Amino acid sequence: MLSRVGDAIYWMSRYIERAENVARFVNANFHMILDLPQEQEQWMPLVSTTGDEALFAERHGAPTRENVVRFLTFDTAYGSSILASLRAARENARSVREHITTEMWEQLNKFFLDVREAASGTAPLDSPHEFYSGIMRASHQFSGTTDATMSHNEGWHFATLGRLLERADKTSRILDAKYFVLLPSVSYVGTVYDDIQWAAVLRSTSALQMYRKRYGQISPSRVVDFLMLSSDFPRAVRFCLGGAEDSLRAISGTARGTFCNRAEQRLGQLRAELDYALIDDVISIGLHEFVDAFQNKLNGVGEAIFDTFFAVRPTGEGAKSELKERA
């Protein structure tokens, strides 16, 4: 497979997963504010999680419900908004139409057009749960269509790799946002408001029902354990890394326990860290510190994947010059 094809499929999948996760985060906040006093309705934390406060302030000003929802959902100047992500996914898919199925293209194209059409209306504010749940369902439909209609070859593994790495990143960011941003005061820790917000974290990852089946009552350390270290919940970070590593090894043909490139080495090391991590160790280090270190390492995995599979290599005299420089 050409590197440009693998790159386009990988990013197509990442962008769709990114759009779904933004929808999850916004929808969870709408759920949460139903259970909180009106004066505690918060929207700026959603922007803070993205790290793009300056861009938001420049384009929208005050962090009102309407401004934050429009920024995260429809603002194409913000590259990680739902609409911008779907546009990027669609353009990547367009560039490799011959390598994906017709059913995949039709589903993604409809997904993008539906969200673009909604940008001119008020659905996200008038019927937020219906609107954002629809985005999540459309993303699931695309993943299901991909699994059901695309040969499970290199292209499919690049799509799976992109989707799971993006999912691991966003799950960790949701946890980090709760621990350091969402509570207005440390005095709220352990109160009913704290429980409401931890429930919102679980709901934003579709984990509330499965968490309750395993643990019952909400406990912050158990929520972190479930979303970071679970080996069988499909949106848990550890589960995502396991699936991503399986696809990465399928692409390169390398057996488990060995590695033949930097991407396999870094992802294998990161997965091993979570395989042998204990929740008490995470809490003792500090959740923010643990998640921050994890995200830096995950970014390193993404860079290694680019260098290994997608970077343009010099040929001819350029290659000889590079070899001399490295020597």
Per-residue pLDDT tens over the stretch 259-268? 999 999 999 9
Q: What is the pLDDT of residue 245?
A: 97
CB 242 within 8 A of CB 226: no
Q: How much is the CA Rg of the chain, to the nearest whole Å?
A: 20
Lowest mean pLDDT among 39-48, 94-103, 122-131, 285-294: 39-48
Counts for the chain of helices (H) and strands (E), in that order: 17, 0
C-alpha to C-alpha distance for 151 and 164, rounded to whole angstroms: 18
Please tell me whether residues 302 and 203 are part of one structural domain: yes
Considering only residues 32 and 69, tell me which one the structure prediction assigns the higher pLDDT.
69
Please tell me whether residues 139 and 160 are part of one structural domain: no
Closest C-alpha among 29, 171, 169, 15 to residue 81: 15
- The CB density around residue 222, as the number of other CB atoms within 10 Å, is 16
C-alpha to C-alpha distance for 228 and 242, rounded to whole angstroms: 12
Assess if residue 251 is contained within a domain: yes
Q: What is the pLDDT of residue 274?
A: 96
Q: Is the pLDDT of residue 318 over 70?
A: no
Is residue 240 very low, low, confident or very high in pLDDT (cuts 50, 70, 90)? very high
Assess if residue 324 is contained within a domain: no
Mean pLDDT score of the chain: 88
Both tokens of 276, joined, read 């042998």
- CB < 8 Å & 24+ apart, contacts of 191-198: 193/36, 193/40, 194/220, 196/32, 196/35, 196/36, 197/32, 198/223
- Positive or negative torsion for Cα 222, 139, 86, 240: positive
Q: What is the pLDDT of residue 47?
A: 87
Please tell me whether residues 127 and 89 are part of one structural domain: yes
Q: What is the pLDDT of residue 316?
A: 54
The total domain count for the chain is 2
Assess if residue 103 is contained within a domain: yes
Q: What is the pLDDT of residue 191?
A: 60
Q: Is the pLDDT of residue 325 over 50?
A: no
- Average pLDDT of span 62-76: 94
Please tell me whether residues 200 and 141 are part of one structural domain: no
Assess if residue 39 is contained within a domain: yes
Please tell me whether residues 56 and 109 are part of one structural domain: yes
Assess if residue 321 is contained within a domain: no
Both tokens of 30, joined, read 């709408």
Q: What is the pLDDT of residue 153?
A: 95
Q: What is the pLDDT of residue 204?
A: 87
Closest C-alpha among 26, 1, 239, 9 to residue 142: 9
Please tell me whether residues 303 and 215 are part of one structural domain: yes
Closest C-alpha among 151, 147, 157, 150 to residue 253: 157
Assess if residue 283 is contained within a domain: yes
Q: Is the pLDDT of residue 294 over 60?
A: yes
Please tell me whether residues 160 and 281 are part of one structural domain: yes
What is the span of the domain harbouring residue 114?
Answer: 1-150
Assess if residue 189 is contained within a domain: yes
Assess if residue 45 is contained within a domain: yes
Closest C-alpha among 119, 37, 10 to residue 70: 119
Burial of 232 from C-beta contacts in 10 A (0-12 / 13-18 / 19+): exposed
Please name the residues in contact with 138: beta carbons below 8 A apart, sequence gap of 6 or more.
107, 110, 111, 114
C-alpha to C-alpha distance for 176 and 45, rounded to whole angstroms: 11
